[in-house]
A = this chain, B = another copy of it.
Amino acid sequence: MQKKTTIYDIAKKLNIAAATVSRALNNSPKISKATIELVQNTALKMNYKQNKLALALKSGKSFNVGVIVPRINNNFFSSVIRGIEEKLYPEGFHVIICQTHDDAKLEIKNINSLINAQIDGILMSISNLEIEKDDVFNKLIKTKNIPIVFFDKKKHIKGISSVTIDDFKGGYDSTKHLIDQGCKRIAHLTNNRSFEIYKNRYQGYVQALQDNGLELDENLIIESRSNLEDGRIAARKLLDLKKRPDAIFSSSDFSALGAIQEIKKRGLKIPEDICVSGFSNEPFTKFMELPITSVDQFPLEMGKEAAQVFLDQVNSGEPNKVSKNVILTPELIIRKSSLK
């Protein structure tokens, strides 16, 4: 194998100083056109590749940003990531993706790994609240001078920016739509309401009921995680009630799908007997034989916004002085599962 060519190799070959090569490569205005051209041509010929590591060591910037998400194999997160990439690539940043698999320990580990890798910032959807995150983040902000941007799931921490959607509106609109369909007993599949997103969707649901003179029945509110199995279990509970619901607003497409499977299994008809709506507008909601009403969170936009906030902070010079909270507006997508 042949050694990588460095600016010294070029310098030696041309009998000039390495510093000159460096400047020429960077198109410094202080260097004569002739030298610049000469250097750049020889660099090309010698197959020179800049060593970013050295640059990073020197400048203290790595031009890498870390993105932490629970998992990448769903449309929502992978779209957010795509949005981040689209915004950041042109600026010369690379994107390092880490998955937490909803494991708090792994999340902390990921953060530390990223710090070690000298990333210039972290964009993340926080996946755990049990550990005293504030400490971790406060240390992060103070010790290093690294901007952090939360998207989707956030925690309110001074100095940390966030990009979220108006989950309250998402919950409100979904519920209102079900009410408009004539539903009177609307159930809600919620999730850990320590997370703002779930709390807000829940509150939107409550408000819509209230605004329309419907009573809040605690029996119709079930906490479950965002997966099929939990959706099925929740549906079972609801269908076993003496007075079963005539609609379900789920804060997750996955549990909505689970619920649908269970409802059908019992021989009930959707939307005739029970209307169902989900949240996130995952592609499968559209592809199903029975397409599912859902709320689009504009993940691509969310990613772009998060990246923009990061860029703003980095470019501001004082990364953690300015922090910003962006709230995007979601859109209810009405499909067969709730359309009587």
Out of B51, B85, B145, name the residue touching A118 (CB < 8 Å).
B51
**Is A113 in contact with chain B by the CB < 8 A criterion?**
yes
Closest to A101 in B: B82
Complex CA gap A288/B117 in Å reads: 42
- A142–B2 contact, CB under 8 A? yes
Complex CA gap A72/B85 in Å reads: 13
Neighbouring B residues of A22 by C-beta, 8 Å: none
Out of B4, B116, B145, B257, name the residue touching A49 (CB < 8 Å).
B116
Neighbouring B residues of A62 by C-beta, 8 Å: 53
Complex CA gap A145/B1 in Å reads: 6
**Is A74 in contact with chain B by the CB < 8 A criterion?**
yes
* Interface-located stretch among A92-100, A166-174, A233-241: A92-100
**Is A57 in contact with chain B by the CB < 8 A criterion?**
yes
- Whole-angstrom distance from the CB of A332 to the nearest CB of chain B? 23
Contacts A72-B78, A78-B71, A85-B99 given; does A116 touch B287 at CB 8 Å: no
Complex CA gap A338/B64 in Å reads: 48
Per-position 1/0 for A107-123, Cβ under 8 A of B: 00000010111100000
- B115–A49 contact, CB under 8 A? yes
Can you list 29 A-B contacts with CB-CB less than 8 angstroms, sorted by A residue number?
A: A1-B142, A1-B144, A4-B144, A47-B143, A49-B116, A51-B57, A51-B118, A52-B116, A52-B118, A53-B56, A53-B57, A53-B62, A53-B118, A64-B117, A72-B73, A73-B73, A73-B74, A73-B75, A73-B78, A78-B78, A82-B99, A94-B113, A94-B117, A228-B287, A257-B287, A264-B289, A288-B288, A289-B289, A289-B290
